[in-house]
Structure 1
């Protein structure tokens, strides 16, 4: 847990306008370290730069200043080096579940027989056995998100970015997926960064929570006072309830302004 999987060192980012004028900075002098195997949630008001952090980590954007390190190394071309799971599952409706899940392996040039064998094993591990010949429209929202997560881990990276993956699910399915995700995280021993607007979700899932502010400079880092494994009932502990209220208080003025 002490080996950094991801580091931001004095990272700033701003877009250039069409006239090549510098716009207001989206991130300014951001510092943080995510250790190997950690589960980190990122919360904050809209426009605070949460998704920008993901775009920088994936390499879709480059910092205006500062350094981004993956597994202790500065890598400018980060495309394909981290796993990314967006809000929507983005499964191709014309492809079977097996074909959808195999896509990262196809891109890597892995032979079809080998790719099929690997994916079929994972479908079983993910509770998706028997769905390989189905299409996305045949599956529930929770099952489609499992396929999307499977595709994310097939990137081969130890760093996975999950951008509000359960926001479109109903409350019961969402809780089920949260519990399932924690089980997969324990089994896979990956490092996860998870964007959410749900404070309870962040508390339930995370080792630490990064709270982003509207000034896009400071990131308040909060350790979740819960051990592992944990259950949803642990959120009723007085210390956790106080922390939840504190986090909501930090966010509420910014949401109302």
Structure 2
């Protein structure tokens, strides 16, 4: 039986300043296995970002418990890696200095952090840009730096919040393939927020759909594709019905 990387047990949540304190999550149960790649899709306002805030520890459940690696985790700040939509690279720090920031925060000396970053730059397609500044890199390259920084947080659970949404279509497809190769090599547990159904199908073992508020349960779809995958696999007949069903669920929520 696989170990669990993340678990919600009977989790409810509402924001204290909301009128009437309407719940966003209500008695939610959720289990993610070690090494899984799980995508979360849903329309804006369905609770995807709230889910991530609870996992990172930026918010605490109104009710229920959250477990990391089968241990009850009250203080989750710094225990999971987080990659936001925007890369948030510091413009006054070089690429190597930006990537090494999580190591410095954990107390590693700057020189040692720099050495550790240099060991990984080629693997992440960043060799030769370590002394450049963020404004000298393309959007795709900046997102590679952001993912490297997330990896260097040291967590086995990584939360990726629409990291490719601001990129052009070709760069986005290239980075999807690159991310999948990195995950298959490292096998961290990844939770990935996206609005793109194709992206979710290509990357994921399972897809969770948020379609109701408050969210009492997550609709779940297992992706019937073997690994390793190629983008052309999305054209397989067995995926067409799944894709249409996912789009229809999202569309029904937006138009309801």
| Common fold by TM > 0.5 | yes
Contact 1:14–1:22 under 8 Å retained in 2: no
Contact 1:182–1:205 under 8 Å retained in 2: yes
1:112 to 106, 110, 115: 110
Alignment partners' CA distance in 1, 2:185 and 2:20: 45
1:17 is displaced (CA, Å) by 2.1
Counterpart residue number, 2:13: 13
Alignment partners' CA distance in 1, 2:2 and 2:219: 20
Q: Name stretches of at least 5 consecutive residues in structure 2 with no aligned partner.
A: none
2:171 to 173, 176, 181: 173
Contact 1:11–1:28 under 8 Å retained in 2: yes
Counterpart residue number, 1:61: 59
Counterpart residue number, 2:155: 157
1:122 is displaced (CA, Å) by 1.1
Alignment partners' CA distance in 1, 2:20 and 2:37: 34
Alignment partners' CA distance in 1, 2:217 and 2:248: 17
Counterpart residue number, 2:247: 248
Structure 1 residues 30-179: aligned runs within 5 Å: 30-179=28-177
Q: Could you report, residue by residue, the CA deviation over 1:118-177 in whole angstroms, capped at 9, with x for unpaired residues? A: 100111110100101000011010000000000001110000000000000000000000
Contact 1:39–1:207 under 8 Å retained in 2: yes
Which secondary structure does the structure 2 equivalent of 1:125 belong to?
A: coil
Counterpart residue number, 1:195: 193
Alignment partners' CA distance in 1, 2:39 and 2:181: 16
Alignment partners' CA distance in 2, 1:127 and 1:17: 44
* Number of residue pairs aligned between Structure 1 and Structure 2: 255
1:29 is displaced (CA, Å) by 1.1
Q: Could you report, residue by residue, the CA deviation over 1:212-236 in whole angstroms, capped at 9, with x for unpaired residues? A: 1123222011100101001111111
1:95 is displaced (CA, Å) by 0.9
Counterpart residue number, 1:4: 4
Q: Could you report, residue by residue, the CA deviation over 1:181-220 in whole angstroms, capped at 9, with x for unpaired residues? A: 0011011110000000000000000000001112322201
Alignment partners' CA distance in 2, 1:235 and 1:244: 9
Query: RMSD between aligned alpha carbons?
Result: 1.1
Q: Could you report, residue by residue, the CA deviation over 1:63-95 in whole angstroms, capped at 9, with x for unpaired residues? A: 001110000000101000000000000001111
Which secondary structure does the structure 2 equivalent of 1:209 belong to?
A: strand
Q: Could you report, residue by residue, the CA deviation over 1:5-60 in whole angstroms, capped at 9, with x for unpaired residues? A: 00011110001128xx7510011111110000000000011111111010000000
Counterpart residue number, 2:230: 231
Alignment partners' CA distance in 2, 1:32 and 1:63: 14
Alignment partners' CA distance in 2, 1:168 and 1:111: 34
Q: Which moved more, 1:235-244 or 1:212-221?
A: 212-221
* TM-score normalised by the chain length of structure 1: 0.97
